[in-house]
Structure 1
Amino acid sequence: MENQWSKFRLRVNVKTDMAAAYKAWNTSEALESWFLRKAVFKDAEGNLKDKKAPIVEGDTYEWFWYGYPDSVVEKGKVLKANGKNVFSFTFSLECPVTITIYEEAGETIVELVESDLPTDTETALKYFVGDSRGWIFYMANLKSILEGGLDLRNKRMELTNVITS
């Protein structure tokens, strides 16, 4: 039996087509429109990528969030980017996060699975709970942005401990 703390799955329905949903994950510019303050990608040779360049398997990244100083940075690697419906990358503790986009009941679904999380109590509390909490907000913000809504992110450094950053 799989440990229930080793992964979590989040799904959001979005009123857009699959191509637009995938595009939201596929460039630095797109990620900065709903998720990150700054997304820096480098290709497999270590060259800085243009913000409009598609992200591909083997790229590495540095991600920065609103509400946090530049000392708070997530570094990782793109594991898969098929240009259509799957985008996967390493995240906390180099655990894989896989985004899968598909249709269900006539709607576009964006599904996020973070897996291979360590299951000891301290790690489970910090990463399972902390990461899922953050991803819930960002998936809701993705829905809001893609459906022509508001950007819900807190962009003010002086406001801390809010669920929007």
Structure 2
Amino acid sequence: MEQLHFDSFTKKIYIKAPLEKLYWCWATKTGIESWFLRKARYSGAKGHPRKDDDFIKAGDSYIWEWYNWNGRETGTVLGTNDKDFLEFSFAKVSRVSVNLEEKGDAVLVSLKQFEIPTDEKSKMEIYNGCSNGWTFWLANLKAYLEHGILLNEKEFDLTEIPEAGHVFVNM
């Protein structure tokens, strides 16, 4: 078995949906808000907002807001190919790549978060926190595309519960 390291992790899931639909779910404002975010804003390299169904491009900046969390994630789109790959900065200090690969009647979604610092705080908050988070959100994407349901909590406001992110599995 490979030795455990804390500078990257990979999460994979098979999803029975068209490749084009999966890419749209990741690479457009409307798509990413359908299963992942309460609100997303993308701006092109010159600061002009992207339209809701335009594919993001390398050099775009983003602002993401989730349900049940008052914070914001900001970052930069680092690469895209308008088909089956995208990469973005995440958690201020790391990167995330998403690869989509057709496998029969499904698509293998491979998400890798890397360049994670290995200090104790980053191990807990980024490696552990993001690894758990992406596991849930990839399962949410599968539930959404295969069954038309969302698993994330929208009915109950968890923002006033300090430990919510550590105890609720569907944030």
TM-score (norm 1): 0.92
* Counterpart in the other structure of 1:43: 44
Residue 134 of structure 1 aligns to a residue in which SS? helix
Residues in 1 aligned to 2:16 and 2:104: alpha-carbon distance in whole angstroms: 12
Cα separation, 2, equivalents of 1:115 and 1:126: 14
Native 8 Å contact 1:66 1:156 kept in 2: no
Contact 1:88 1:99 (C-alpha < 8 Å) held by counterparts? yes
TM-score by length of 2: 0.89
Q: Alpha-carbon deviations, 1:76-119, whole Å to 9, x = none? A: 00011101110110001331100000034653101100001011
Q: Is the 8 A contact 1:66 1:157 kept in 2?
A: no
Tell me which residue corresponds to 2:170: 164
Alignment CA distance shift 1:157-1:67 (3 Å) = farther
Distance in 1, matches of 2:3 and 2:41, equals 35
Structure 1 runs not aligned, ≥5 long: none
Supply the distance in 2 between the matched residues of 1:5 and 1:31 (Cα, whole angstroms).
27
Provide the C-alpha distance between the structure 2 equivalents of 1:94 and 1:138, rounded to a whole number of angstroms: 20
Q: 2: distance between equivalents of 1:74 and 1:112?
A: 18
Equivalence for 1:63: 64
2:32 aligned partner: 31
Whether the aligned pair in 2 keeps the contact of 1:67 and 1:156 (CA below 8 Å) is no
Q: Give 3-state SS (helix, strand or coil) of 2:63's partner.
A: strand
Provide the aligned length of Structure 1 versus Structure 2: 163
Give secondary structure in 2 for the equivalent of 1:108: strand
* Structure 2: 5+ residue stretches without partners: none
Cα deviation code 1:130-158 (max 9, x no counterpart)? 01111111000111111133111111462
Counting aligned pairs with the same residue, the percent is 32
CA RMSD, aligned part only?
1.8
- Conservation of the 8 A alpha-carbon contact between 1:14 and 1:109: yes
CA distance in structure 2 between the aligned counterparts of 1:40 and 1:2, rounded to whole angstroms:
38
Tell me which residue corresponds to 1:98: 97
Moved over 6 A (4+): none
- How far did residue 2 of structure 1 move? 8.4
CA contact (8 A) 2:15 2:146 kept: yes
